[in-house]
A and B are shown apart, each in its own frame.
Chain A
Amino acid sequence: MMTTMLACGGAGKKEEPAAPANPAKQDAQTADTSQEADQKDASSDEQITLTFMRMGSPEQATPIFEPIIKQYEEEHPNIKIDFSVIGWAEALTKSKLLFSSGQFPDVGFMSQIGYEFAEQGLLLDLTPYFEKDKEFAENFTPSVLESVKYKDKIYWSPCAVGAFSLWYNADIFKQAGLDPEKPPKTLDELLDYAETIKQKTGIPGLAVGAKAESDLTHVFMSVYASNAGESLWNSSEQRLTFEDHKDAAIKSIAYMREMVERDIHQPNPIEIDFYGGRPLFRDHQVGMILDGVWALKEFRSQLEDGTETLRTASFPSGDAGCSSLMGIGGWAIPSSCEHPDEAWEFIKYLQNTENQSSHGDQWGLLPILKSQKELPQYQEYYWEPLINQTETSHGIIAHPETTFIETTIAQQISDAMMGKQTPEETFDNIVKTVNDKIN
């Protein structure tokens, strides 16, 4: 592993500058390139191969994108799309290695790990493209397009949006004497309901994941923002808001600890992350999970069996209301791309109503285009709370050190949940470690 990593000759030896010296010049070059592309004959004879990558599992991605690619290649005989999939576990490592060797695909999926790449000028600023293609841009839900910006620029066209919500099992609620039409509305009610379920049925009321993974950070950020009334991360000032809301921060850390302390969860929460609760929820072995639209694909058969057993609801509110975390992934173009205009055209094709809906439906993504909202598939009972959640959501940490910050918070919250340190110690550790890194 060491040899592979250190054999990367790309680091420090790029042939092109890593960051444009003048972003305005980059914008001008992009605009010029766009104009040149407009002037080209639509049926250019130049054979172009575009590399295209999705993060996820090949079993999931291939059936979604192969038909789209095939159709695109038929409509554009001079373009060939070379498709690949990077697993989530290796997404960060592989993306860095691809960028360092100048081999990041022409159209590649990007998520919060992309802020680091954007900061280093490795991602093309797509803002001029959005400004040029107004019809395409205006079809996006405005809040989604706004949330994906980094330093007022768009570095990936949002296609994969989801926010944390509450999923619950109506049958288990009934067994516990709870009304399925009245899911918990507050964070305190969430734990009380979970306790009632455990006491009355023996089934864990809430799947709790204390493993130090990024989704633990995301759940914590949702709890914190719901208590503090503000996201943990101040994007414009590029800093934590922890010290602005110390009481809310410590209360939120204590809440996470309470999730483990109270007898409401499955055995050994340290072994799983919050997403690890999905098999338990699917198999009716837990009453509730905190998860997003991404979980939908794992419950689809039950959601569509007509029983309405598995249901969705808003993320529970804290002292300052409800504010769950919203993740936005999308399609990015590396700044080293040799065919940025062709890459952009392919992105637009990927995100026409039909293809975006196919992608979203099979993957478990929220409808983010205005043209999608009225489609029949989004009228099912479980969609409304998930879609409405975006109105009470906030964005992810947007900073070049997002990975470090999320990992730090995850580790500290995990330690707090397992009782290894007090909420106050956790607060201090997070503030010190993150500030030392970013300042």
Chain B
Amino acid sequence: MRNIGKKSLPYRYILPAVIFLTIIFGIPLVNMIWYAFADVDIMSGFKEWVGLKNFSFLIDPEFRKTLLRTLIWVIFGVAGIFIYGMSVALALNKPIPGRNLFRILVIIPWLIPHAFAGTIWTWMLNSNTGLVNAVLMKTGLVSQPVSFLGEELAMATVIFIRIWKGAPFLIMSLLSAFQTIPVEVEEAATIDGAGKIQYFRKVMVPLLKPVLVSSGIILTAWTITIFDIVYIITKGGPSHATEILSISIYNKAFIDNDLGASAAISLFAMVFIIVLGYLQMRSQNKVE
């Protein structure tokens, strides 16, 4: 009896958290799966079962374009965060003057709410009244305002803003992870004749891999599901140029009044993220 009580103790400790998480995540998840197979809208609620009809988006050419745009958004966004974030983290790991101040400054983008960041960038990048074009024109770098939010550059612009917003998370994670690398390792590598790049590639990266993998999973999942900042800046336009999965989900639910199709796309996105996360974690387990 005492053994059963002892064995069940860990489960009893985590039970409140499990109940809480079930309520917070489980109920919407069940709702989402249920809605994905039904004709349902936000105000009328459930109307009838429709089987796989809501998944017809998978063969819609427009959805394939949305998926492609989402992949571009995720790949370049996450890669940009890693390149920029790693560079800044390495720089801030050096004993440079004002290092602590710089460390505080790099966190600021992360602290700014997405909605506020989106509004500020929209204002700054406006062709006619924005600060960025005013500076570019004044300095003679351009003779005409650059249409950062026009069709050609809109995706690059939102990816840039994503990198600006997301990099601080990676920077802080890496700065913490750098502290776990013993100084002796760098000294030993130097003695063995390793250059800076060799040291980075063959010593630092393998030691940082667990952090890089977990950060990569988190950043990828976040980037796929980001809605507010893109919506505020471009609303998925112009001409669908920045319509990623999350915008598509919103439009289906609130513009097309089709919560079922919206749930189906959400389910697709969730499965995609789970598969991606599984593959990345498997890759980490292999290394370990």
- Report Cα–Cα, A89/B228, bound state, in Å: 11
Judge if A377 is at the interface, Cβ distance under 8 Å: no
Judge if A387 is at the interface, Cβ distance under 8 Å: no
Question: Residue-by-residue, is B211-248 near A (CB-CB < 8 Å gives 1, otherwise 0)?
Answer: 00000000000000101100010010111000000100
- Report Cα–Cα, A437/B239, bound state, in Å: 20
**A5-B253, A96-B254, A285-B128 known; A11+B40 contact, CB < 8 A:** yes
Question: Residue-by-residue, is A258-293 near B (CB-CB < 8 Å gives 1, otherwise 0)?
Answer: 000000001110111000000110000100000000
Contact size class for A?
35 or more
Note all chain A residues with C-beta closer than 8 A to B25.
3
B38 (CB) vs chain A CBs: closest residue: A12
Contacting residue for A401 out of B32, B43, B145, B257, CB 8 A? B257
Q: How many residues on B have C-beta within 8 angstroms of the other chain's C-beta atoms?
A: 46
A277 (CB) vs chain B CBs: closest residue: B128
- Report Cα–Cα, A412/B22, bound state, in Å: 43
A213 (CB) vs chain B CBs: closest residue: B235
Question: Are A6 and B44 in contact, CB atoms less than 8 angstroms apart?
Answer: no
Question: Residue-by-residue, is B20-36 near A (CB-CB < 8 Å gives 1, otherwise 0)?
Answer: 00001101110110010
Question: Are B42 and A100 in contact, CB atoms less than 8 angstroms apart?
Answer: yes
Note all chain A residues with C-beta closer than 8 A to B78.
none
Judge if A193 is at the interface, Cβ distance under 8 Å: no
Judge if B186 is at the interface, Cβ distance under 8 Å: no
Interface stretch among A47-55, A124-132, A317-325, A413-421?
A413-421
Judge if A404 is at the interface, Cβ distance under 8 Å: yes
Judge if B147 is at the interface, Cβ distance under 8 Å: yes
Question: Are A14 and B151 in contact, CB atoms less than 8 angstroms apart?
Answer: no
Question: Are B42 and A8 in contact, CB atoms less than 8 angstroms apart?
Answer: yes
Question: Are B239 and A418 in contact, CB atoms less than 8 angstroms apart?
Answer: yes
Question: Are B44 and A120 in contact, CB atoms less than 8 angstroms apart?
Answer: yes
Question: Are A117 and B43 in contact, CB atoms less than 8 angstroms apart?
Answer: yes
B263 (CB) vs chain A CBs: closest residue: A6
Judge if A372 is at the interface, Cβ distance under 8 Å: no
Question: Are A266 and B266 in contact, CB atoms less than 8 angstroms apart?
Answer: no
Question: Are A418 and B151 in contact, CB atoms less than 8 angstroms apart?
Answer: yes
**A1-B225, A3-B28 known; A404+B239 contact, CB < 8 A:** no
Question: Are B150 and A271 in contact, CB atoms less than 8 angstroms apart?
Answer: yes
Judge if B249 is at the interface, Cβ distance under 8 Å: yes
Judge if A7 is at the interface, Cβ distance under 8 Å: yes
Question: Are A270 and B35 in contact, CB atoms less than 8 angstroms apart?
Answer: no
- Report Cα–Cα, A429/B35, bound state, in Å: 29
Judge if A403 is at the interface, Cβ distance under 8 Å: yes
Question: Are B250 and A1 in contact, CB atoms less than 8 angstroms apart?
Answer: yes
Question: Are A14 and B45 in contact, CB atoms less than 8 angstroms apart?
Answer: yes
Contacting residue for A6 out of B35, B127, B227, B257, CB 8 A? B35
**A1-B225, A404-B256 known; A268+B127 contact, CB < 8 A:** yes
Judge if B173 is at the interface, Cβ distance under 8 Å: no
Judge if A43 is at the interface, Cβ distance under 8 Å: no
Task: Give chain A nearest CB distance to B145 CB in angstroms.
Answer: 5
- Report Cα–Cα, A122/B45, bound state, in Å: 13
- Report Cα–Cα, A211/B237, bound state, in Å: 8
Judge if A85 is at the interface, Cβ distance under 8 Å: no
**A268-B127, A279-B129 known; A6+B254 contact, CB < 8 A:** no
- Report Cα–Cα, A433/B32, bound state, in Å: 27
- Report Cα–Cα, A425/B239, bound state, in Å: 15
Note all chain A residues with C-beta closer than 8 A to B40.
11-12
Name B residues whose Cβ lies closer than 8 Å to a Cβ of A. Answer: 24-25, 27-29, 31-32, 35, 40-46, 126-129, 144-145, 147, 149-151, 225, 227-228, 232, 235, 237-239, 246, 249-250, 253-257, 259, 262-263, 266, 269
Could you give 13 example pairs across A and B, Cβ below 8 Å? A2-B28, A3-B25, A11-B44, A18-B44, A99-B43, A116-B43, A122-B43, A270-B147, A271-B126, A271-B127, A271-B147, A279-B129, A403-B254
Excluding A96-B254, A267-B128, A403-B254, 5 further A-B contacts by CB distance (< 8 Å) are A6-B31, A96-B42, A210-B238, A268-B128, A404-B257
4 closest residue pairs by CB, A with B: A12-B45, A268-B127, A268-B147, A12-B46
